[in-house]
Amino acid sequence: MVQDASLPKSIRIGLALSISLVLLSASCLLVLRAAARQTALPVFGQVPDFNLVDQEGRPFTDEDLAGRVHVIGFIYTTCTDICPAITAQMRTLQTELARAGLTDQVHLVSLTVDPEHDTPERLAAYARMFGADTTSWHFLTGRPHHVRAVVEKGFLVGIERV
């Protein structure tokens, strides 16, 4: 009769568990190292310092963007095609943010690309027309060269006269 030279079952189970634990630990270590090597998202541009005004004529600067997420749309009040659609989508977003209790963390900004015509008063009327809650949605305008610098240099969006 041939005698079985294998290890007892309890030792084999213990050995298998130990090897599994070592492999799991090594896998976790590799994943953590890979995550640590990942770089931050690329920076495509930086919003320059700016001084604009909101729909109430109150100052709004780049510092007002600090500390929370902002969703920014570019509009002008005499636009009859895409701007109302953008603003309606922003209004829907504001409603959803309010439902989720996120209006303190996420603000909306509609920045005019026609500051020659879009005064604070016009922007306030536009905001009312869309039912915007202006405590967390800012409609901005300013001197044309300031607006152009923010839009083109900060957000890398071109402004073209048609």
Task: Output the domain CATH number for residue 144.
Answer: 3.40.30.10
User: How many independent structural domains does the chain possess?
Assistant: 2
Half-sphere exposure of 96 (CA within 13 A, CB side): 7
Average pLDDT in the chain: 85
Task: Give the long-range contacts of residues 23-28, CB within 8 A, separation 24 or more.
Answer: none
Residues 22 and 67 in one domain: no
DSSP 65: G
Kind of pairing, strands 106-112 and 69-75? parallel
pLDDT confidence bin for 83, thresholds 50/70/90: very high
pTM to 2 decimals?
A: 0.73
Give pLDDT, residue 26. 66
Domain assignment of residue 31, given as a range: 6-38
| Spatial CA neighbour of 97 closest among 61, 126, 137, 138 | 137
- Could you report the per-residue pLDDT of 32-65, keeping only the tens digit for each? 666 667 667 677 667 888 999 999 999 999 999 8
Q: Please give the angle made by the CA atoms of 66, 69 and 72, to the nearest 5 degrees.
A: 100
For residue 146, the SS3 value is: helix
Residues 20 and 86 in one domain: no
Residues 87 and 138 in one domain: yes
Distance of CA 1 to the CA centre of its chain: 75
Q: What are the structure tokens assigned to 18, written together?
A: 């130990």
- Could you report the per-residue pLDDT of 89-127, keeping only the tens digit for each? 999 999 999 999 999 999 999 999 999 999 999 999 999
Residues 67 and 99 in one domain: yes
Residues 32 and 93 in one domain: no
Radius of gyration of the chain (CA): 28
- Could you report the per-residue pLDDT of 72-82, keeping only the tens digit for each? 999 999 999 99
Asked whether residue 44 is assigned to any structural domain, the reply reads no
